[in-house]
Amino acid sequence: MTSLLRTQAFVNGQWISTDQHFNVYNPATSAVVATVTQADSALTLAAIAAAEQALGPWQQLLPKQRAELLRQWQHLILAHQHELAALMTAEQGKPLAEALGEIEYGASYFDWFTGEAERSYGTLLAQGQEGQKSWYQAQGIGVCAAITPWNFPHAMIARKVAPALAAGCTIVIKPAEATPLSALALAQLAQDAGIPAGVVNILPTADPALVGDILTTHPSVKKLTFTGSTKVGKQLMAQCASTLKKVSMELGGNAPFIVFDDADLELAVQALMQCKFRNAGQTCVSANRVFVDASVQPQFIALLKTELSKLNVGSGLDPSVDYGPLINQAAIDKVSTLVRDAVQQGATLLMGGHSLAEQGPLFYAPTLLTGVMASMRIAQEEIFGPVIAVQSFQDEAEAIQIANAVPVGLAGYFCTENYRRIERVSQQLECGMLGINTGAISHAYNAFGGVKESGIGREGSPLGLAEYQEIKNITIGDL
Ligand code: NAD
């Protein structure tokens, strides 16, 4: 299929098989894309040992030298973007154009952190005692473990590996079981770029707990960087407590998207379409709860229905398609259950509400519900599908109150033309990232991350490198 198809684990610069394997399926067709080696305990320990051995030499390189290697890796990623995108569409289902966008987005983190690698400074502290000098400086934290989800199989790794390597860390990555091929292709390009053996290791597995238990408890691993569900994040954080590992947690969201009565409604619909249907709604920053001021709801819904009716659903290989299949049967079951439950509880189904069996078992129709209530499951849980669930509100205070009444706080969006309202609402919404009159908030220069149970730490931005560094304070006496 592509010269970058790899089906073995990548440890210490070598491609390694075990006697166990698992299948990777194409969600558009249910066909087996590849059969991949399953990492066992011995291979997991070997990967940690390799990362530990590679750490010293990697840390000793000048930041500029590490940056040069990362730049070379980024160059190869972009040179192979069409192959990488084809592999991603095959294992994940998203349209090719979106897959290409994800490769470019992932590469932008390499670009960002090659620059950041060369701009890591310490601070000389005010002299407190005669004859003494103190400063603190940042240094790479050590061996890192990364556990990543299937919805962005390339970018979620790029967002972790680029700052980790830039900071002088080495890394062991466990990609999601549904999408290991994008990760393994990245490893091949790392090798081709001259990243030394052991600096990047990839452990595919369909038994995440086996590998995860070792990564989160092994004393040589100093940090876990995780993207995935809040439930698994909490569990992994508890496991990391035994050796007090540093953690970065990019977890689930339940983003509010608020349309105020003074919004430009056409712009609001465009922003909502942009952030709702990317990746068939399977994104952590997807608008999950749409709040519309009751006075503008009829116009807003009319505009939205027109846009929804234009959506083309099908195989990601078809260039005319807007979104592809959901990842697996469990995802279809969850979306169907949430929609059914909402209707049973009194919501009105205006469009969709069914799978598209003629396309394949994992395709779901663009769906629009109104009359959703905050107490319904569809408003309490991540839908992770192509469903717009609309609640109405009477005034700003009510919108903010319901928007904040969930335990998570990743992204939030609102639309208004009123500058004072922008100031007010921005201060009050409880989330790590806000999009105002836009549905596109994720860029390497932005601080990506959540508050409340959506996580700990930030990826990208000038803050991102520090997630992979520790501070060392140094004092010289007797000067
Ligand atoms: P998930 O939590 O089920 O899985 C994420 C990763 O954890 C996978 O690699 C999986 O194999 C691994 N895993 C699961 N159980 C494990 C265990 N016991 N030990 C070790 N590893 C284990 O999440 P998912 O379904 O793959 O991804 C969807 C979730 O990810 C959603 O909640 C979404 O919001 C979240 N997400 C968050 C961000 C963010 O940046 N905040 C980005 C993308 C996705």
Reported as a single tens digit per residue, the pLDDT across 199-216 is 999 999 999 999 999 999
Ligand 1: which of 221, 232, 443, 448 to mutate, most ligand atoms within 8 Å of CB?
232
Q: What is the mean pLDDT of residues 302-327?
A: 97
Structure tokens at 457: 């730490």
Residue nearest to atom 42 of ligand 1 (CA): 284
Tell me the per-residue pLDDT of 242-252, one tens digit each, with 9 for 90 and over: 999 999 999 99
Listed by start position, the domains of the chain span 9-251+454-475, 256-436
Sign of the torsion formed by the C-alpha atoms of 72, 78, 81 and 87: positive
Residue found by looking up tokens 């390339």 in the block: 154
Distance CA 120, CA 328 (A): 42
Q: What is the pLDDT of residue 118?
A: 87
Residue 117 in this model has a pLDDT that exceeds 90: no
Q: Ligand 1 within 6 A of 178 CB?
A: no
Q: How many helices (H) and strands (E) does the chain have?
A: 14, 22
CB of 209 closer than 8 Å to CB of 232: no
Helix (H, G, I), strand (E, B) or coil at 201: strand
Tell me the per-residue pLDDT of 393-422, one tens digit each, with 9 for 90 and over: 999 999 999 999 999 999 999 999 999 999
- Confidence band, pLDDT 50/70/90 cuts, at residue 119: confident
Q: What is the mean pLDDT of residues 47-66?
A: 97
CB of 266 closer than 8 Å to CB of 468: no
Q: Ligand 1 within 6 A of 457 CB?
A: no
Class of domain 256-436: alpha beta
Q: Ligand 1 within 6 A of 232 CB?
A: yes
Ligand 1: which of 284, 285, 382, 467 to mutate, most ligand atoms within 8 Å of CB?
284
Tell how far CA 199 is from the center of its chain. Answer: 22
Q: What is the mean pLDDT of residues 46-65?
A: 97
Residue nearest to atom 22 of ligand 1 (CA): 208
Average pLDDT, the chain: 97
Q: What is the mean pLDDT of residues 164-176?
A: 98
Active site residues: 250
CB of 337 closer than 8 Å to CB of 302: no
- Confidence band, pLDDT 50/70/90 cuts, at residue 1: low
The verdict on pTM exceeding 0.80 is yes
Task: Tell me how far the alpha carbon of residue 332 lies from the centroid of ligand 1, in angstroms.
Answer: 17
Tell me the per-residue pLDDT of 268-281, one tens digit each, with 9 for 90 and over: 999 999 999 999 99
Q: What is the pLDDT of residue 128?
A: 84
Which residues on adjacent β-strands are paired with residue 123?
136
Task: Please provide the CATH number assigned to the domain covering 9-251+454-475.
Answer: 3.40.605.10
Q: What is the pLDDT of residue 120?
A: 87
Tell me the per-residue pLDDT of 254-265, one tens digit each, with 9 for 90 and over: 999 999 999 999
Tell me the per-residue pLDDT of 342-397, one tens digit each, with 9 for 90 and over: 999 999 999 999 999 999 999 999 999 999 999 999 999 999 999 999 999 999 99
